[in-house]
Structure 1
Amino acid sequence: MAQVRHKWFVLAGIMLGLFLSALEATAIATAMPTVVSSLGGLAIYSWVFSGYLLSSTVTMPLWGRLSDLHGRRPLFFAGVLTFIAGSALCGLSRNMGQLVLFRLIQGIGAGAVMPLTFTIIGDIYSLEQRTKMQGVFSGVWGFASLVGPMVGGYLADHASWRWVFYVNIPFGLLSILLIAIGLKKEEPREAGRASLDVVGTALFTISAASLLLGLSIVQHNLFAGSFLFLTFLLLIFLYVRMEEKAEHPLVPLKLFAIRMFRAAQGSGLFSGMAMFGVISFVPLYMQSVLGSSATEAGRVLIPFMLTWVVFSIAGARILMKAGYRSVILAGGVILVSGFVLMSGLDAASSPRTVMLCVSIQGAGMGFSMAPFLIAVQSAVPKDLMGAATSSTQFVRTIGGAIGVALLGATLSLHLQASADALSGGAHDPRSALEEALRHPDNVITPAGRRELAPEVLAAVTLEMANGLRKVFRVSLAFALLSFLAAFAVPDGSVHSHAWKPPEGGVQ
């Protein structure tokens, strides 16, 4: 358990680290056109994003469990230093292949920052204080995600795209300095020379990577994607069998004996699928259906983040007075309501209607996700808090990756079916409408829309609206499944269900 010397230094240090890792996930987006013009490599453009997501996601449980075994302080240092090293190497990249490789390293470091941030909060703050701090840190994450594209664009325009990465170095070092001052050195939390199960960790990491890689390529290469999915199933089966016997497993299976933990994993998986659907496809709806610019499309998500932050704070505070089951289920009702409203969007909807939808969805996410994390941390033994926190965030992120893949396939299949119906199943390259449906990239940007004939633009916009309505309805199904899974949350309060050490001492 982390021991604090100066709480405000710790608070500033972990807040700065979280801000940098969240900022980096989005700042590169607006700088990438400049990066491509400098380095080339358009064919592997998407891997700059997916590589970071892949490495940060699969290493989350590893960092969390290692912090249980060897302490928060050294693992936070290692994570931030890895992030800084990856950032420096990204800035020095000479081709796109190097940038993708170094983004993987950067993502490994980022995989430590988020779970350890919330775990350290659980260590150094009381339950009552934690309810306030979780909302504050959710706000930091949301703010960083919002300003990231603006920061990336500004640096790319006025300095160099390389400074999108270099800017992390001084602030990352400052984060380490603040933590070094604020946190005391700590003994490993488990007695003896505790060591992680290396084979089990390797199986888990490769299985998670196989799943994420399979999701990213299955639409383009069905055989390779299917092979990776089978690899995932085989390795995760072997992992579970091995971890049943491991002395220090990566994700201790005894956590699943705790009802609150099980409920959080099930509900979090589906809420992640729904949440990433909003973040990924609402901007696409704004641009391809309503004809908004990229800036306007990004702006529509601001209410989503704002209500998330406000309701995270409110939900965490209400949690202390009401039973957490009622708070979490109330959040689920709000979330489902937002998706019900969104499932009715069409080509004639207004931006204000979209903003209303995402505002309600953000409120639902905030009202359920922050209380869920607090309840999980309260329900597990202190020596497993790192593993429980990182696992909860890992499952939510994996859910997001699965959700984006399924929703993307939903849209692609709709457009493909529309194009096939138009041509009677025989591809006719002379049909402008059929080409627009098979390759709808032009309908996304204002400049591309101007190149299309009015009747073609109207038809493809209508089909995009119909396809995205299906996407939002599938997202509604995910939100409903998350709500239903939340019924597994036991009755009671965080006080009545808080983990209590067995007689004879604290573990």
Structure 2
Amino acid sequence: MSVRRLHRRPLMNEEARKRWVFLGIMLSIFLAAIESTVVATAMPTVVASLGGIRIYSWVFSGFLLTQTVTMPLWGRFSDLYGRRPVYLAGLATFLAGSALSGASQNMVQLIVFRMVQGLGAGALMTLGYTIIGELFGLERRARMQGYISSVWGLASLMGPWAGGLLTDHVSWRWVFYINLPFGAVAMALIAGALTGVSKPARRPVVDGMGVGLFAAGVSALLLGIVEAGRVGSWSQIEVVGLLGLGVIVLAAFVAVERRAVEPIVPLRLFGNRMVLAAVITRFLAGMAMFGALSFVPLFLQSVTGASATRAGLVLTPFVLGWVVMSVVSARLVLRVGYRTVVVIGMASLTVAFLLFWRWSVTLTSASAMVDVLLAGIGMGMVVVPMLIAVQSVVARSDLGAATSLTQFFMSIGGALGLSLMGAVMSQRLHAGLPMVEALHGVFVVGAAVCVAALASAFMVPSGRAQDLARSEMRGEPTRVGG
């Protein structure tokens, strides 16, 4: 169907198409988000079935590695080739990885197929946010992005429960197979409704050298970060070697990108103050929160003697606070601007970490829930507003690259925070300190990162969201496509 004929269709038909696309994206992002947590509760059964206890951690690390590395690549490919074909390719890759993971006969196969799954997952989150940014004007975009973030939060909350249920009552293989029917529905919705796509005016020039250098450099960097967290030291020869290799390769990548006709990562985006503020703020927020969040259940179990179930329940207010404030903050930015909302959010996150630092053996679950809720509120007031801000200030031709960069740096920040804080805990335990003191050191590092993030929040330009947005990104687009 031609774009001209699509323009003649009634407005309600266009609105219906947008709703179906939105539903398909919500379903896809739900699958990608739940996959990050649903596998954890199934792994003891998986190890009993497949063996491979010494390498099973790569089931998680491999997924994280390929998901993170490919985020900017998927985003830029969607700018060059269109949202619909690239998103459907990512979703198909994710579903293929799910099917193969469920059919794995040994741990090595499961790790490889989980990495395939991660390749696709890198597209679902970033391109889902990108398509929403392209389909709706500023006010509706703010509302829709809040809903999408809520889906992510609820999926993360349901993951461990769903994984345990499927493993206990069906089979661990259905932790992966369950994605297939829902993914097929999402694919049908998006393929059918995200139409009216115009072909590029000219054939895109793929920066093959840039793709290779970026993937190699980020992979080496992430492997170094993961290894540092595993051994509890940043001075091991393997860690230093991987980090050094990553830095050298990424330096070569920057040099190549400066000369590329169609750069995979348009370096000019970092010259935009809003994009730079979003990258730094989300990197530091991810570093603090996703790093330390892993140690909250450990504190409750190791220091206060709480059960695993009760320790897990303590994190529920964090997710609920994030979900609610994602929706609320998306609307607040239209009234008071981005800077005010983000500064308040980072201040809340900083206070939460200071409260974590005061935790002791006498900590109760109720007190921990209140402190964790404050952290969730803070994250909800940072992540979505900065996403909306970036999508409102860049040209449509850079929307995929800009959106994926904010997601990428938050993921890198989370991996770095987890590794850094794990190393701090290991060093303090090695020095003979009790667990409570070792974990206090973790929370102090998190608080220091939060203070830096709070300072970076003041980089966000002041003013009303409507006034800061590019004119082309304020109103509703005239067609469903991309």
Q: TM-score, structure 1 length as denominator?
A: 0.88
Whole-Å Cα distance in 2 between the matches of residues 139 and 321 of structure 1? 21
1:150 aligns with 2:161: yes
Q: Which residue of 2 aligns with 1:395?
A: 409
398-407 or 239-248: bigger deviation:
239-248
One-letter code aligned to 1:183: L
344-353 or 208-217: bigger deviation:
344-353
Whole-Å Cα distance in 2 between the matches of residues 470 and 191 of structure 1? 56
Q: Which residue of 1 aligns with 2:246?
A: 232
Q: Residues 427-447 of structure 1: CA distance to partner in whole angstroms, max 9, x if unpaired?
A: xxxxxxxxxxxxxxxxxxxxx
Q: Which residue of 1 aligns with 2:224?
A: 214
What is the CA-CA distance between 1:127 and the residue it aligns to?
A: 0.6
Q: Which residue of 1 aligns with 2:397?
A: 383
SS at 2:440's partner residue?
helix
Q: Which residue of 1 aligns with 2:374?
A: 360
Q: Which residue of 2 aligns with 1:425?
A: none
Give matches, 1:66-77, under 5 Å.
66-77=77-88
One-letter code aligned to 1:191: A
213-222 or 150-159: bigger deviation:
213-222
1:121 aligns with 2:135: no
Q: Which residue of 2 aligns with 1:325?
A: 339
1:489 aligns with 2:464: no
Is the 2:95–2:180 contact (alpha carbons within 8 Å) kept by the matching residues of 1?
yes
Is the 1:203–1:236 contact (alpha carbons within 8 Å) kept by the matching residues of 2?
yes
Structure 2 residue ranges without an equivalent (≥5): 7-13, 473-482
Is the 2:292–2:418 contact (alpha carbons within 8 Å) kept by the matching residues of 1?
no
Q: Which residue of 2 aligns with 1:204?
A: 214
Is the 1:346–1:466 contact (alpha carbons within 8 Å) kept by the matching residues of 2?
no
What is the CA-CA distance between 1:347 and the residue it aligns to?
A: 1.6
Whole-Å Cα distance in 1 between the matches of residues 436 and 207 of structure 2? 49
What is the CA-CA distance between 1:182 and the residue it aligns to?
A: 1.4
Which residue, out of 298, 312, 316, partners 1:302? Answer: 316
Q: Which residue of 2 aligns with 1:471?
A: 442
What is the CA-CA distance between 1:391 and the residue it aligns to?
A: 0.5
RMSD: 1.5
SS at 1:274's partner residue?
helix
Give aligned pairs, total.
456
276-285 or 119-128: bigger deviation:
276-285
Is the 2:292–2:421 contact (alpha carbons within 8 Å) kept by the matching residues of 1?
no
Q: Residues 254-297 of structure 1: CA distance to partner in whole angstroms, max 9, x if unpaired?
A: 10111000111111111011111243111111111121222211
Whole-Å Cα distance in 2 between the matches of residues 234 and 29 of structure 1? 34
Q: Residues 297-349 of structure 1: CA distance to partner in whole angstroms, max 9, x if unpaired?
A: 11111100111111111111110011211121111111111111111112222
Point out which structure has higher relative CO (alpha carbons under 8 A, 6+ apart). 2
Whole-Å Cα distance in 2 between the matches of residues 369 and 272 of structure 1? 9
Q: Which residue of 2 aligns with 1:94?
A: 105
Is the 1:215–1:405 contact (alpha carbons within 8 Å) kept by the matching residues of 2?
yes
Q: Residues 81-138 of structure 1: CA distance to partner in whole angstroms, max 9, x if unpaired?
A: 0001001110111110010000000000000000011111101111101111111111
One-letter code aligned to 1:296: R
Is the 1:381–1:500 contact (alpha carbons within 8 Å) kept by the matching residues of 2?
no
Q: Which residue of 2 aligns with 1:19?
A: 30
What is the CA-CA distance between 1:206 and the residue it aligns to?
A: 0.9
Structure 1 residue ranges without an equivalent (≥5): 420-462, 502-507
Label 1:291 to 1:339 Cα distance change in 2 as closer, same or farther (>3 A).
same
1:183 aligns with 2:194: yes
Is the 1:315–1:366 contact (alpha carbons within 8 Å) kept by the matching residues of 2?
yes
1:81 aligns with 2:98: no
One-letter code aligned to 1:357: D
- Where has structure 1 moved over 4 Å in runs of 4 or more? 2-5
One-letter code aligned to 1:262: L
489-498 or 23-32: bigger deviation:
489-498
1:293 aligns with 2:307: yes
What is the CA-CA distance between 1:191 and the residue it aligns to?
A: 3.3
1:253 aligns with 2:260: no
SS at 2:468's partner residue?
coil
Whole-Å Cα distance in 1 between the matches of residues 208 and 313 of structure 2? 44
Q: Which residue of 2 aligns with 1:133?
A: 144
32-41 or 200-209: bigger deviation:
200-209
One-letter code aligned to 1:198: G
Q: Which residue of 1 aligns with 2:478?
A: none
Is the 2:282–2:382 contact (alpha carbons within 8 Å) kept by the matching residues of 1?
no
Whole-Å Cα distance in 2 between the matches of residues 121 and 397 of structure 1? 20
One-letter code aligned to 1:238: A
Whole-Å Cα distance in 1 between the matches of residues 348 and 237 of structure 2? 40
Whole-Å Cα distance in 1 between the matches of residues 388 and 60 of structure 2? 30
Give the share of equivalent positions with the same residue, in percent: 48
Whole-Å Cα distance in 1 between the matches of residues 148 and 461 of structure 2? 26
What is the CA-CA distance between 1:500 and the residue it aligns to?
A: 4.5
1:275 aligns with 2:286: no
Q: Which residue of 2 aligns with 1:444?
A: none
Whole-Å Cα distance in 2 between the matches of residues 309 and 295 of structure 1? 22
Decide which structure has the larger Cα Rg and report it. 1
Q: Which residue of 2 aligns with 1:426?
A: none
SS at 2:466's partner residue?
coil
Is the 2:291–2:419 contact (alpha carbons within 8 Å) kept by the matching residues of 1?
no
Is the 1:267–1:486 contact (alpha carbons within 8 Å) kept by the matching residues of 2?
yes
Q: TM-score, structure 2 length as denominator?
A: 0.92
Is the 1:132–1:313 contact (alpha carbons within 8 Å) kept by the matching residues of 2?
yes
One-letter code aligned to 1:472: F
Is the 2:95–2:179 contact (alpha carbons within 8 Å) kept by the matching residues of 1?
yes
What is the CA-CA distance between 1:487 and the residue it aligns to?
A: 1.3
